[in-house]
Amino acid sequence: MSWGRRWIFRGAGIALLVAGTAFARTQLPERPATESGDLFVPQPEVARLASLGYRNLVSDYYWLQALQVVGGSAQNPSAHAPLIGRLIDVVTTLDPWVDHPYRFAALWMTDSAESVRKADALLDRGIEHHPDEWRNFFYQGFNRFFYLDEDERAADSLEAATRLPGSPAYLPRLVAKLRAGEGGLDASAAMLEELVRESDDPYARAEYEKALDEIETERRARTLDAARDEFRRRHGRDIVRVEELAEGPDAVLESLPPELHGFEWVLSPEDGRIVSSWYGARYEPLFHASARTEREQMLRGGAAGSSRTESR
């Protein structure tokens, strides 16, 4: 076949795809955006019925909408978690064999306990259709541990991942730590390091690296805590300045551990704990120190009530 005829057929195919998507869209009820500016997203079953023979095309349309929501968020895509959840629900209802959108939801639906649990349910759907994909189990385990403080359920997900090809060799040890209630900083760091390696989203990778930075800062602060206890034992009083730990002939430390950002170690005016002046607060296990209030609200609320080109 000549190149000219090939291009004619290719052009006709593209035109047919565009027309099919447009026709399927006309079958969906038109509604304005919400007051917050969110897009209208149909119920998954409505979208399924209206898509006729164009399910994959309509799924692609809503997937592009989800990408635009995240790409158009200047600072915090997770603030749009409810909208992202509705979009990915439609995407994966119309085409449940997609792969990356499930983890995309797990990545960005982290604004509340409710959102994290909805992302968890979407990952269940992904696991049903991709039972050999260890990353879905890993993301599920990470969210259960890091955001929901559910060590046992996190261990269940990660243990399932250990049985699949390609999963990291350290996962069995991590599962054992979680089963023993010894998650803490080491477990957080191990999972975050894996997510840094796994993520192809620069914004997400930066957030994971920020969390790793907080964990290392917390490790150094705990070294200072131990030195502070020893100072009290030796001198019968507490420190007035953190520098006292490395001063005088009977200094507890030869020198203070460096603060990662070149700032200082200070005593918090709020609770007297040793903190980095960069962060101004201590890292709370399972959540970033900068989001402690949000974490508490998430857990109270829970008690009360990239691209898609990887594979399809």
Owning domain of residue 285: 206-302
- If DSSP codes are grouped into helix, strand and coil, which group holds residue 226? helix
156 in any annotated domain: no
262 in any annotated domain: yes
Q: Residue 296's pLDDT is what?
A: 41
Q: How many domains does the chain have?
A: 1
Q: Which two three-digit tokens encode residue 274?
A: 């040793």
137 in any annotated domain: no
Which DSSP letter does residue 76 get?
A: -
Q: Which two three-digit tokens encode residue 240?
A: 């007035």
User: Would you tell me how many other CB atoms lie within 10 Å of the CB of residue 299?
Assistant: 16
75 in any annotated domain: no
Over the stretch 2-38, which tens digit does the pLDDT of each residue have?
444 433 433 433 343 344 444 444 444 444 343 345 6
Over the stretch 236-255, which tens digit does the pLDDT of each residue have?
999 999 999 999 999 999 99
Distance from C-alpha of 265 to C-alpha of 287, rounded to nearest angstrom: 21
Alpha helices in the chain (DSSP H): 3-26, 44-50, 55-71, 81-94, 100-108, 113-129, 134-146, 151-162, 171-179, 184-198, 202-235, 292-304
Q: Tell me which residue of 12, 24, 16, 103 sits closest to 62, measured CA to CA.
A: 24
Task: Name beta bridge partners: 264.
Answer: none
Residue 170 backbone phi and psi in degrees, to 5: -80, -10
Distance from C-alpha of 204 to C-alpha of 226, rounded to nearest angstrom: 34
Q: Residue 38's pLDDT is what?
A: 61
Question: Looking up tokens 């999963």, which residue turns up?
Answer: 167
Over the stretch 145-202, which tens digit does the pLDDT of each residue have?
988 989 999 999 999 999 999 999 889 989 988 888 877 888 888 888 988 988 877 8
- If DSSP codes are grouped into helix, strand and coil, which group holds residue 296? helix
Distance from C-alpha of 5 to C-alpha of 187, rounded to nearest angstrom: 58
In this model, does residue 299 exceed pLDDT 60?
no
How does 162-201 read in b/e, with b if 16+ C-beta sit within 10 Å?
A: bebeebbeebeebbebbbeeebeeebbbbbbbbbbebbeb
197 in any annotated domain: no
129 in any annotated domain: no
155: left (phi over 0), alpha (psi -120 to 50) or beta: alpha
Please report, for residues 153, 168, 216, the alpha-carbon distance to residue 172 in angstroms, rounded to integers and kept in the order given: 15, 9, 23
Which DSSP letter does residue 289 get?
A: G
The counts of H helices and E strands in the chain are: 12, 2
Per-residue pLDDT averaged across 210-231, rounded? 94
In this model, does residue 290 exceed pLDDT 80?
no
Q: Tell me which residue of 249, 274, 269, 241 sits closest to 259, measured CA to CA.
A: 274
In this model, does residue 279 exceed pLDDT 60?
yes
100 in any annotated domain: no
Distance from C-alpha of 253 to C-alpha of 6, rounded to nearest angstrom: 75
211 in any annotated domain: yes
Residues in CB range of 150: below 8 A, 6 or more apart: 144
